[in-house]
Amino acid sequence: MEHREVVVIGAGPAGAVAAALLKRQGHDVLMLERQQFPRFSIGESLLAHCLEFVEEAGMLPAVQAAGFQVKNGAAFACGDSYTFFDFRDKFTPGPGTTFQVQRAHFDKVLADDAARQGVEVRYLQEVTAAEFGGDGPLLEVCGADGQPYQVKSRFVLDASGYGRVLARLLNLERPSSMPPRKAIFTHIEDRIDDAGFDREKILITVHPEARGIWYWLIPFSNGRCSFGVVGGENLIGGPGEDQMATLRALADAAPNLKRILKNAVWDTPANTIGGYSASVERLHGPGYALLGNAAEFLDPVFSSGVTIALRSSKLAADALHRQLTGADVDWQTEFADPLMVGVETFRAYVQGWYTGEFQDVVFYEHAQPEIRRMISSILAGYAWDQNNPFVASPQRRLRMLSELCRGAEAPPMPA
C-alpha cells in the first residue's frame, strides 16, 4: 500500500490546475490518469476567465509559449444576421482574451507543467474501486502493467471528466436537468479566405430553419479548425448512417457556413457524442470532492466546461489547503455553494439559448452598450460576478430583456 497526502484522479485541465495549486502550497500530490497524453478531447474554445486560474497555478508562461490561437470574443450568425461580443469590452474586471486550443496539446501542456512543478503524474492508471472510511480514502488502482495496487491518502479530488470515476463508484449520478442532445464534430483543414471571418472569435451559427440546432466553428493557429453541430437526439439516424455526410449536409444548410467552408478539406472522420449533460447528488463527501465535468456538465454552446472545471479546482484547492493545515472546513459553503453560483448562471443562459430567449438578446440590434458589456462578461466566463445584474438574477433578467427585445423596444438599464 502506498501512502500519499492528496490523490487527483484525472490529468485534464481541472486535475492539472488543482494539483499545481496544491503543490505550490507545499502539499504532496499524486495525479493518476487513465489515458496516455496527448489524447484527443473535445471542447477547444476557452473563456477569458480561465486564464486567471492558469496564471495562479503558474502555468500561463507555458500556455502563452505554446502558440495557440488568440481568442478575444464570440461571433453569432443566423441567416443574414451577424453580431459579435468582444471580451475586452465587458463589465467585469479580468482578462479579456484567451485561446482556442487543440485540447490534446493544451491538456498536455498543463499536465507537463504540473509535473515540472513537482506533481507526480502517472499515466495509464485506472481507479477501479474507492473506499472512504474513517481512516481516510483508499483507492484501488490498476497500473500501466496491469497489476493492481492501493493508494491511501488524506483526500481525493476527482477530475476525471466524462469518466466520472467517483460518481460511478459511489453511486452519486443523477439525471441532468438539461434535455438530452447530441453533437457531430470533426477537425478540418479550413482554408478559409472569407474576408469577413474573424479567426480570433469562435463562430456560433444557428440553423436557418431550426433554432434548436446550432454549429460551432473554432479556428486554430495552424490553419485547422474544430467544426461541429448540436441538436436533439434524432440529429443522427441509425448506426449505419454516414456521419460525415450528415455533418457536411448540415453545414451546407447554413448559407454562411457553406460560404466560409467552401475550400475546406474534410480530412478527419466525423465523430459523435450524446447524453453529455450530467449531474450528481452531491459535489463532496468525507475525504473527496468532485471537480469540473466529473460533477456537472451543462452544454457546449458557451464553452463553459473548462471554466467551470478550473473554478472548481481553485475553490477545492483553497478549501483543501486549509483543511490539510488544520482548519475546520465546511465544504458546502466554501466549495459547493460558491461553485454553483456560476453553474446556475450558465444554466440559465444555456436554457435560454434553446428556448430562444437568449438568441433574441444576442441578435438584438439596438442594445445599450452597458447591457452588452454585462452579457459579454458572462460569455467571457465571469459568471460568478454578482455585481453583474445578469448574474445576480439571471433567469428573471434574461426573461425581461428577451421580452423587451421581442417587443422591438430599446431595453432600459437594469436596476
Predicted pLDDT at 414: 42
Predicted pLDDT at 162: 87
Distances (CA, A) of 175 to 180, 278, 345: 10, 7, 19
pLDDT tens sequence across 143-173: 999 999 999 999 999 999 989 999 999 999 8
**Would you say 313 and 29 are in contact if contact means Cβ atoms under 8 Å apart?**
no
Predicted pLDDT at 278: 80
Q: Answer whether residue 98 shows pLDDT above 80.
A: yes
Domain boundaries, the chain: 2-66+101-175+277-329, 181-272, 354-406
Predicted pLDDT at 284: 97
Quick one: 2-66+101-175+277-329 is in which CATH superfamily?
FAD/NAD(P)-binding domain (3.50.50.60)
Mean pLDDT of 73-85: 96
Residue 267 CA neighbour count, 13 Å, CB half: 10
Q: Answer whether residue 87 shows pLDDT above 80.
A: yes
- The fold of the 181-272 domain, in CATH, is D-Amino Acid Oxidase; Chain A, domain 2 (3.30.9)
Mean pLDDT of 217-224: 98
Mean pLDDT of 178-184: 88
Q: Answer whether residue 240 shows pLDDT above 70.
A: no
The better pLDDT of the pair 199, 240 is held by 199
Closest residue by Cα to residue 218 from 304, 107, 105, 102:
102
**Would you say 70 and 97 are in contact if contact means Cβ atoms under 8 Å apart?**
yes
At 175, the pLDDT band (50, 70, 90 cuts) reads: confident
Mean pLDDT of 186-191: 98
pLDDT above 70: percentage of residues in the chain: 97
Predicted pLDDT at 59: 98
Mean pLDDT of 103-120: 98
Mean pLDDT of 366-392: 96
Q: Answer whether residue 411 shows pLDDT above 60.
A: no
Helices (H) then strands (E): counts for the chain? 14, 21
Q: Answer whether residue 89 shows pLDDT above 90.
A: yes
pLDDT tens sequence across 242-280: 899 999 999 999 999 999 999 999 999 999 988 778 888
Predicted pLDDT at 289: 98
Mean pLDDT of 55-62: 98
Is pTM, for the whole model, over 0.85?
A: yes
Residue 107 CA neighbour count, 13 Å, CB half: 27
Please name the amino acid found at residue 233: E
At 398, the pLDDT band (50, 70, 90 cuts) reads: very high
In 188-304, alpha helices (H): 243-252, 255-260
Mean pLDDT of 290-312: 91
Mean pLDDT of 287-295: 92
At 408, the pLDDT band (50, 70, 90 cuts) reads: low
Mean pLDDT of 354-382: 95
**Would you say 132 and 140 are in contact if contact means Cβ atoms under 8 Å apart?**
no
The better pLDDT of the pair 181, 223 is held by 223
At 311, the pLDDT band (50, 70, 90 cuts) reads: very high
Whether the bond between 394 and the residue before it is cis, its omega within 30 degrees of 0, is no
The pair phi, psi for residue 153, each rounded to 5°, is -145, 175
Predicted pLDDT at 415: 37
The Cα 339–Cα 335 span in angstroms is 6
Q: Answer whether residue 237 shows pLDDT above 80.
A: no
At 413, the pLDDT band (50, 70, 90 cuts) reads: very low
Predicted pLDDT at 410: 44
Average predicted confidence (pLDDT) for the chain: 94
Q: Answer whether residue 16 shows pLDDT above 90.
A: yes
Query: Among 23-37, 286-300, 351-365, 397-411, which range has the highest average pLDDT?
Result: 23-37
pLDDT tens sequence across 325-347: 999 999 999 999 999 999 999 99
Predicted pLDDT at 238: 64
